[in-house]
Amino acid sequence: MKIVFMGSAEFGLPALKMLLEQHDVAAIVTTPPRPKGRGLKLFDSPVAEFAKFQNVGPVLTPENLRDDEFISRLKSFAPDLFVVVAFRILPKEVFTIPKHGTVNIHASMLPRYRGAAPIHRAIEAGDAETGVTVFRIDEGVDTGEIILQSKVSINDTETTPELYERLSLLGADVLRESLDMLAGGNVSTLVQQPAGATRAPKLSRQEGRIDWNLPAPAIFNKIRAFKPFPGTYFFINGKRINVEWGIFIADAAPLGASPGTVLNARGDYIDVQCGNDTILRISKIKPEGRPVMDVRAFLLGHTIPEGTALE
């Protein structure tokens, strides 16, 4: 099949590699270069960087997906199918162009976790499993008919970057099988049931601030989920400290301390009282303006008295 690939993030690279090896990729569509860093230097998307390195293309970077010239260019490829992975919401005049429509790889078992952050939200919720879904794009957000799904377990200590990598590879495999089914005319799609739908909204910086009233297992899940953005953090003496790692102690004896109270800050860890008489044991941090370090290294130069209230 003649395919146009649309994507911007690293998540789509395994799928793009597979398509280039096994199908006719007529074009690659990605986001325009964006300013980053203090100097606001322009950087290509990971997909654009990959295409340049592999010397494949053409690569289209439209600002406006409804632009007439862009749409005409897409039609000129006479595509059989568009494949979308971690891109933008397509208007109907775009996703209806190909003969076989447009399919998307989504990093959840739809209809669970529709939206921009399905991997983060699954870990944050403490889910034991997730997966990938290949589905047909329609006018809703992640609401189209399901072509194929594959489920995986989430490890108890797995972080977003780790699960992201596993699901990106799985997504390529599920896409390969889905395309074989489409090419053979052997597709029986499944309509998503709205009753089972949940949302996975984009993360905000404010979500990373730790609410010590939550039980320690819930905070631990946020530490795993919010890597690398927005991170989980607290303030002490007006200074922000990111929590890079820790564990929870769920069966601690009630100590009567208020949530957010430092119970112990000696040796290799900082113990903090959390909700439901649970304790978060912090072992790795990133102080404001400094690199990631073990708590032991931090405590060599800082004293945190027991009873300190973290903000």
> E strand or H helix at 225, and its extent?
helix 216-225
pTM over 0.85: yes
Domain termination residue (choose one: 151, 177, 196):
196
Residue 69: exposure state from Cβ atoms within 10 A (0-12, 13-18, ≥19): exposed
Cβ(207)–Cβ(229) below 8 Å: no
Neighbours of 256 (CB within 10 A): 7
Q: Give the integer Cα–Cα distance in Å for 207 and 218.
A: 13
CATH number of the domain enclosing 212:
3.10.25.10
Which residues touch 180 (CB under 8 Å, ≥6 apart)? none
Q: Are β-strands 239-249 and 278-287 bridged in parallel, bridged antiparallel, or unpaired?
A: antiparallel
pLDDT, tens digit (0-9, with 9 covering 90-100), for 220-268: 999 999 999 999 999 998 999 999 999 998 776 667 789 999 999 989 9
Mean pLDDT, rounded, of the chain: 95
pLDDT, tens digit (0-9, with 9 covering 90-100), for 141-183: 999 999 999 999 999 999 999 999 999 999 999 999 999 999 8
Neighbours of 112 (CB within 10 A): 21
Question: Does 232 lie in the same domain as 168?
Answer: no
Task: Name the 3-class secondary structure at 35.
Answer: strand
User: Containing domain of residue 14, as a range?
Assistant: 2-196
- Examine residue 308 and state whether it is found in any structural domain, yes or no: no
How many structural domains does the chain have?
Answer: 2
Question: Does 11 lie in the same domain as 82?
Answer: yes
DSSP state at residue 104 = E
Q: Give the integer Cα–Cα distance in Å for 232 and 128.
A: 21
Cβ(262)–Cβ(308) below 8 Å: yes
Q: What are 6's strand-pairing partners?
A: 29, 84
